[in-house]
Amino acid sequence: MKKILQDLSLAELTQEIISLGERKFRAAQAFSGLLSGKTVEELPAVPKALKEKLLQTYENAPLAVEKTFYSSDGTEKYLFRLADGNLIEGVLMKYKYGYTQCVSTQAGCRMGCKFCASTLNGLIRNLTPGEILSQILLVNALHKNDADLAGEGKEKRAVTNVVLMGSGEPLDNYDNVIKFLRLLTAKEGLNVSARNISLSTCGLVPKMYRLADEGIPLNLTVSLHATEDSERQKIMPVARAYKIADILKACANYFNKTGRRYYFEYTLIDGENCDEAHAEALSALLKGKPCHVNLIRLNEVKERSLKATGDKNAYRFMGVLQKNGISATLRRQIGADIGGACGQLRAAYVKEKNEREIAAKDVRD
């Protein structure tokens, strides 16, 4: 695979353009074209000769939309094809205040959580900063005509909020994710405020400490899903490496360093983690902490045996937390009709495609 031009900051792109023997202003032209989601070939104003030079080293486009799925609630799910053919997915959620895009940070994942479809085949590879960024550049370009609904400043853009909750564990691809966050928040780039970015981790404690020192005060979210280490280990292998108590210390450090309250995700799995005793235990664990709990209904994954809990139980669980003074919300189920959870869309698509190809081969044979 060639290199990814969108990996470069404006300063780095300027260096690159100068080293190709071109004038500096060409870098600003190219950068602005890339920001609006153009491929190298499509870059406006950039001379053909420069495009040809760039294409010797760089991919024309880091990714393209393979397929879009539209939910009846307005949510859009994207399947993106990377330049090497790997598929990743993303989600666009439309709210009154703007659009929130969920991006993937890895193709596949090696964390092995028992409820998650992204990890079914392990980690395929890390995404580069530009591959993560380009998911947003493409979606912004597709929605440029709705941009008056949202966005700030003179360059209105559709995507105002970004969540790192697609496939992959962001802190397992640390350096690339940090570079992506710097590109995303750069004044001369998309200029997304760190306050509008959420990063979700399964709890890689040492990286949570590093993140607190990066000077990017984003919303840190930890996938907790259990109140005891022994229970957590049953559904999240990473819990063998990091204890809940150490995760809570890392969260407290994050709050002290950034002043930002932190978030927990708690996926309700029937018969596993969501009876009343669990709600009481979760309340005791988080009592008095500057945090918020997002309760998620399990999106059942075909390949896994875990079951979602009913609405009644979900509301009861939330009620116990709230009665105990814990700030909690039950996440609205979005895009459930289009393969809601992480990795489900890709898994279903790859399976369907394989079956089609096998069927076609059967016909040929």
Q: Please give the Cα distance from 261 to 91 (Å, whole number).
A: 25
Compare residues 27 and 293 and give the one whose CB is closer to ligand SAH. 293
Active centre residues (catalytic): 89, 342
Compare residues 50 and 181 and give the one whose CB is closer to ligand SAH. 181
Binding mask 104-143 for ligand SAH (x = CB under 6 A): ---------x-xx---------------------------
Q: Give the CA diameter of the chain.
A: 68
Torsion of CA 160, 161, 164, 167, to 10 degrees: -70
Torsion of CA 52, 58, 61, 63, to 10 degrees: 160
Size of the site for ligand SAH (CB under 6 A): 17
Q: Please give the Cα distance from 138 to 184 (Å, whole number).
A: 14
Please say whether the beta carbons of 328 and 335 come within 8 A.
Answer: no
Compute the least distance from the CB of residue 54 to ligand SAH, in Å.
33
Compare residues 87 and 116 and give the one whose CB is closer to ligand SAH. 116
Structure tokens given for 26: 């060409």
Compute the least distance from the CB of residue 216 to ligand SAH, in Å.
17
Compare residues 30 and 165 and give the one whose CB is closer to ligand SAH. 165
Binding mask 15-54 for ligand SAH (x = CB under 6 A): ----------------------------------------
Give the pairing of strands 87-95 and 76-82.
Answer: antiparallel
Compute the least distance from the CB of residue 296 to ligand SAH, in Å.
5
Q: In the chain, at which residue ranges do the beta strands (DSSP E only) sit?
A: 63-70, 76-82, 87-95, 98-102, 106-108, 123-126, 159-164, 197-201, 219-223, 262-268, 291-297, 328-330
Compute the least distance from the CB of residue 20 to ligand SAH, in Å.
38
223 binds ligand SAH (CB under 6 A): yes
92 binds ligand SAH (CB under 6 A): no
Instruction: For the segment 163-222, give every residue that binds ligand SAH (CB under 6 A).
Output: 165, 169, 200-202
Report phi then psi at 87, rounded to 5: -110, 140
Torsion of CA 145, 146, 150, 155, to 10 degrees: -10
Q: Please give the Cα distance from 256 to 93 (Å, whole number).
A: 31
262 binds ligand SAH (CB under 6 A): no
CB contact set of 153 (below 8 Å; sequence gap of 6+): 191
Report phi then psi at 94, rounded to 5: -105, 120
Compare residues 82 and 165 and give the one whose CB is closer to ligand SAH. 165
Query: Of 202, 210, 224, 223, which is closest to residue 257 (Cα–Cα)?
Result: 210
Name the segment binding ligand SAH (CB under 6 A); options: 33-41, 78-86, 295-303, 312-320.
295-303
Compare residues 139 and 224 and give the one whose CB is closer to ligand SAH. 224
> Pick from 273, 299, 314, 338: which binds ligand SAH (CB under 6 A)?
299
State the Cα angle at 282 between 104 and 306, rounded to 5°. 55
Compare residues 160 and 221 and give the one whose CB is closer to ligand SAH. 221
> Pick from 16, 22, 76, 265: which binds ligand SAH (CB under 6 A)?
265
CB contact set of 181 (below 8 Å; sequence gap of 6+): 194, 197, 199, 214, 216, 218
Compute the least distance from the CB of residue 204 to ligand SAH, in Å.
9
Name the segment binding ligand SAH (CB under 6 A); options: 53-61, 72-80, 182-190, 291-299.
291-299
Residues that bind ligand SAH (CB under 6 A): 113, 115-116, 165, 169, 200-202, 223, 265, 267, 296, 298-299, 301, 341-342
